[in-house]
Structure 1
Amino acid sequence: MPIRTHSGFSITADTTLADDRHYDVIYIPALWRNPRAVVRQQPELLAWLSEQAARGTRIAAVGTGCCFLAESGLLNGKPATTHWHYFRQFSRDYPSVKLQTKHFLTQAENIYCAASVKALSDLTIHFIETIYGKRVATHTQRTFFHEIRSQFDRQCYSEENKPHPDEDIVQIQTWIKANCASDISMQNLADMAGMSLRNFNRRFKNATDMSPLQYLLTARIELAMNMLQSTNLCIQEIANAVGYEDIAHFNRQFKHKTTVSPGDYRKTVRAKMFSA
């Protein structure tokens, strides 16, 4: 039976909560105005969400739709976010949830919260990359999204990726980001941290889940991406500016990280910046 929305559109569902089906991703949309009354009138939906979460299905909610996840208990003791207008009410109604007011995206295992539709778009690109691979995700982003997307892992608060407590490594990370264009050796970094090279590599990997060299290369490519977007420097100049003397090596590293060449990346982001 079709469901008529407040805007007059009709939606015909092709399944029901009672159907035993596998889902790759479940999206929970935002509700108009105060969500409290609607959320608490849906016990069957709340139970179904808990069941799907237990199966490992990715569940993503946006804005006030995150209240369904909180009401079901799936966010107890876990990070979450919601629309900024409902921060105070959300904290009052769900005190056991770790509300992250400075993040547009949160992740706790297979449960995701997005504060806005734009953030949900970024999350969708992440899902596509996870399920279908980076090449398909990149093509989807370039084809269907008219504004520049933010990387999921840059803006998402995740239990798995929350800031680590190793202050010595944090200082090195900060220095690398500020000096990534310099000629940096791993031994120099170990000396700065006052550690042996072996111990430094071990502690850095434990803290960041990547080697110091991987972190340095990532910082250089991210700086190059910003420069391709915001400056008129040629690609050779940008390669030199982020620490690469060999432009061919820079091109390979950039494409390995982003799946597109520096030139194609610049065309894409410039077109999105200035398109109507």
Structure 2
Amino acid sequence: MAGRTSGGTHHVVVVALENVLALDIGIPWQVFGSWRDSPYTLTVCAQRPGPVPMHGGPALSVAHGLDALASADTVIVPGYLEPDAPGAEVTTALAGAAARGTRMASICTGAFALAAAGLLDGRRATTHWLYAQALARQYPRVTVVPDDLYIDEGQVLTSGGVSSGLDLCLHLIRRDHGPRLANEQARLLVAAPYRTGGQAPFMDLPVRPTPSDSPALYEWALRNLHQPLTVDQLARQAGVSRRTLIRRFHTDTGLPPMRWLLDARLARARELLESGDLTVEAVARHCGLGTPANFRTLFKAHVGVPPRTYRETFNSAAVKGC
């Protein structure tokens, strides 16, 4: 596991891949490299020294190549635009660092680089929720958990999208030096020292696309979400048997009818919480989600936070009653 350099500090090396995301690379820079009497030293490296294109900012001038990984106690790969395997030279260097016992971490889409190096095989990992399906598809040996802020698998850690990289970096400090130092750094950064929940509140919960050959049934269902709809009602509305309806839903949406309805109800609830001032009772009623207690339970189970917390996060005009 990660050790210490001869000077007693912990050496963090950040790997800037082409089109590195400006905010992602700024997080470890700020957390580990900007405070007085830090127990960490920080180096930024790239595949080779020189200017590195950066998404969201000017080109980054990098003085070190991949040989900087040889002295790293922790390697962090920030996210990069349109992630793909970064090439054999980079993946070999990452795999070599891991083989030496270096602690490996990624922020956002940096997980794709760790996965390409084989470092996530057989492990749980996360990435930006928008890229979670792509990561799972490209690297089937990785167990992708899309809604976690970060995942600590011991030597290898991954974080979700962008700001969850801050949660990961504070977690590393907490792991190395305990909660007191992590909390002090969090206060300096005006950040929560520990966030509960995950990426789920920020993830899209879209209703699956309706098919071109039979949109009327789905449009009718969306207009009647306030009603206690059943599979039999949907079948009657479509003029088909119950079995045919279930088969049609699986073909059209990949979901059973009642799961499609639940997703539609939750998506409507999120819209109302984000943009309106309805009480939780009214939102539950408009969306057909039962009693306020039932609504809170379902919403938290599927979105990750209670309705009130969601509203406070995404609607500045939060009201009483949630």
TM-score using structure 2 length: 0.43
Q: Say which one has the larger Rg.
A: 2
The structure with the largest helix share of the pair is: 1
Q: TM-score, normalised by structure 1?
A: 0.49
